[in-house]
Amino acid sequence: MSTYIHFTEEQKIRANEVDLVEFLQRQGEKLLPSGREKRIASDHSITVRGNEWYDHALEQGGLAIDFVQNFYGLSFPEAVTKLLSGEQGELYSKTKERKQIKRKPFVLPPKNSDMRRVFAYLIKNRHIDRDVVSFFAKQKLLYESCEQSANKTKEYHNAVFVGYDENGVPCHAHKRGIYSHGNGFKGNIESGNPCYSFHYTGISNRLYVFEAPIDMLSFITIYKNIHWQEHSYVALCGVSVTGKGVGNVDCCGAKELKGHFLDEEVDLSLMDETLKKYKEVKGSLITILQNAQEIYGFLPMSVLEYISQETGIYSSQIYGVATFYTQFRLNPVGENLIMLCKGTACHVNGADGIEEAITEELGIKDGETTEDKIFTLNNVACLGCCSLSPVMMVNGETYGSLTPQKTKEILREIGKQALDAKEGN
Ligand code: FES
């Protein structure tokens, strides 16, 4: 039979006013800074501030008593007892924070007149695709701030990633320092609504979720094809995932980006000669990657890690270069590499129709390989024979003045030859 413990109203109020930061620290919990709140290290979805708590994953929160009940699985009397006296009979002090802190209204930092620094930082340092940066800038989701230090003697420039609500009103912003040395500043603007952190909404039912805006832009850079704008993307900027009402949710942090490189078992010693020759040569990363691609046909993750280990170049920098240049392939290609030109002349003369014909004939899109590994399709910029547009190149041979029908016939013939060769005819 459970014991009935009577608490006076004054005791309940006192228990509910216990400062949860102090309380948790005394229980041995590690707390991490998260803006004006503290995040519990053992459960990142919960933040506390004064006597209040909020579980971002479950979208619920409250005051000290129900926090202790939920977090420790205690009954109401047990929670009140714990809050009032603690295990050693300690008394916790009443929170002062609630009344003292007056939240400032949410205000976006002032804009700089151009975005030169942000473009340079994101493209050169973070290897984000220029078109992706331009796209988000044009949508007013990204801009460069120009802010003054408190004593007005210095100017600071940050990349600002803005989140809008359904009425197009900015309600959240994440700032990222754009200086290339040391750990850059990052943080959310005070009083932003985390429900509207930096995001882009497409029309498909696929949502990709990221920890930080730069992870999101890196992912789009890797998977940039004509369809990327159909999907939705959100950077949580320090909040946890709920993903309600969306068909498919993928979570991608910096670590998960690695997962987009294929890790096949390969003979790493094949790289030794190249590494011996270039590992001490400054600025030779692209040459090393080109050699690796020549050896393995693409860039397997284990090879990139091996290059990092041998050269001392950070693996994140190597991934950045490998994903930035279209010449590098992250997956093995089929026997026949189709390079379809999507340059201006070809685009005007019907390259999209040619791409559709390839997809109809082979069932693959840009960057994909057929299941039988006979064809890989890569869309590329101008192939240098615009007078023949629309143009594709298969294994170095140019096919010009294409029509959808002609394209299908060419692919059928190449496919037939490949099958005959396999069967030894
Ligand atoms: S635009 Fe296609 S070959 Fe030049």
Residues 76-90 have pLDDT tens digits of 778 888 887 654 444
- Going by pLDDT thresholds of 50, 70 and 90, the confidence category of residue 277 is very high
pLDDT of 259 higher than 50: no
How far, in Å, from the CA of 300 to the mean position of ligand 1?
A: 30
User: Which of 210, 238, 258 finishes a domain?
Assistant: 258
Is residue 172 in some structural domain? yes
Same-domain pairing of 351 and 416: yes
User: Which of 100, 127, 161 finishes a domain?
Assistant: 100
For ligand 1, whether the C-beta of 389 sits within 6 Å is yes
The single-letter DSSP state of residue 145 is B
pLDDT in tens, 48-75: 888 888 777 666 677 888 888 888 888 7
The pLDDT score that the predictor gives to residue 101 is 52
The pLDDT score that the predictor gives to residue 155 is 83
CATH number of 295's domain: 1.10.10
pLDDT of 162 higher than 80: yes
Is residue 277 in some structural domain? yes
For ligand 1, whether the C-beta of 341 sits within 6 Å is yes
Is residue 144 in some structural domain? yes
Q: What is the DSSP string of 244-282?
A: TT-SEEEEE-HHHHHTTS------GGGGHHHHHHHTTST
Question: Rounded to an integer, what distance in angstroms lies between the CA atom of residue 268 and that of residue 303?
Answer: 6
For ligand 1, whether the C-beta of 391 sits within 6 Å is yes
The pLDDT score that the predictor gives to residue 324 is 59
Same-domain pairing of 308 and 243: no
The pLDDT score that the predictor gives to residue 184 is 61
How far, in Å, from the CA of 405 to the mean position of ligand 1?
A: 20
198 neighbors 174 (Cβ within 8 angstroms): yes
Same-domain pairing of 292 and 362: no
pLDDT of 94 higher than 70: no
pLDDT of 245 higher than 50: no
The pLDDT score that the predictor gives to residue 367 is 78
Domain span at residue 386 reads 336-423
Kindly report which listed range (30-44, 244-258, 339-353) carries the lowest average pLDDT score.
244-258
Same-domain pairing of 66 and 36: yes
- Going by pLDDT thresholds of 50, 70 and 90, the confidence category of residue 228 is confident
Question: Rounded to an integer, what distance in angstroms lies between the CA atom of residue 64 and that of residue 66?
Answer: 6
pLDDT of 229 higher than 70: yes
For ligand 1, whether the C-beta of 383 sits within 6 Å is yes
Same-domain pairing of 168 and 240: yes
pLDDT more than 70, % of the chain = 81
Domain count, the chain: 4
- Going by pLDDT thresholds of 50, 70 and 90, the confidence category of residue 225 is confident
- Going by pLDDT thresholds of 50, 70 and 90, the confidence category of residue 410 is very high
Same-domain pairing of 253 and 139: yes
Same-domain pairing of 305 and 214: no
pTM strictly above 0.75: no
- The region, left, alpha or beta by phi > 0 then psi within -120 to 50, assigned to residue 73 is left
pLDDT of 115 higher than 50: yes
Is residue 109 in some structural domain? no
How far, in Å, from the CA of 399 to the mean position of ligand 1?
A: 12
Rg (CA), the chain: 28
Return the number of other C-beta atoms located less than 10 Å from residue 423's C-beta: 7
pLDDT (mean) for 151-158: 83
Question: Rounded to an integer, what distance in angstroms lies between the CA atom of residue 423 and that of residue 425?
Answer: 6
Is residue 2 in some structural domain? no
Question: Rounded to an integer, what distance in angstroms lies between the CA atom of residue 78 and that of residue 84?
Answer: 10
Question: Rounded to an integer, what distance in angstroms lies between the CA atom of residue 326 and that of residue 121?
Answer: 20
Same-domain pairing of 214 and 306: no
- Range picked from 32-36, 270-274, 402-406 for highest mean pLDDT: 402-406
107 neighbors 147 (Cβ within 8 angstroms): no
Q: Which residues touch 76 (CB under 8 Å, ≥6 apart)?
A: 65, 69
- Counting from 1 in the atom list of ligand 1, the atom nearest the Cα of 389 is 2
pLDDT of 97 higher than 60: no
- Range picked from 4-13, 116-125, 188-197 for highest mean pLDDT: 116-125
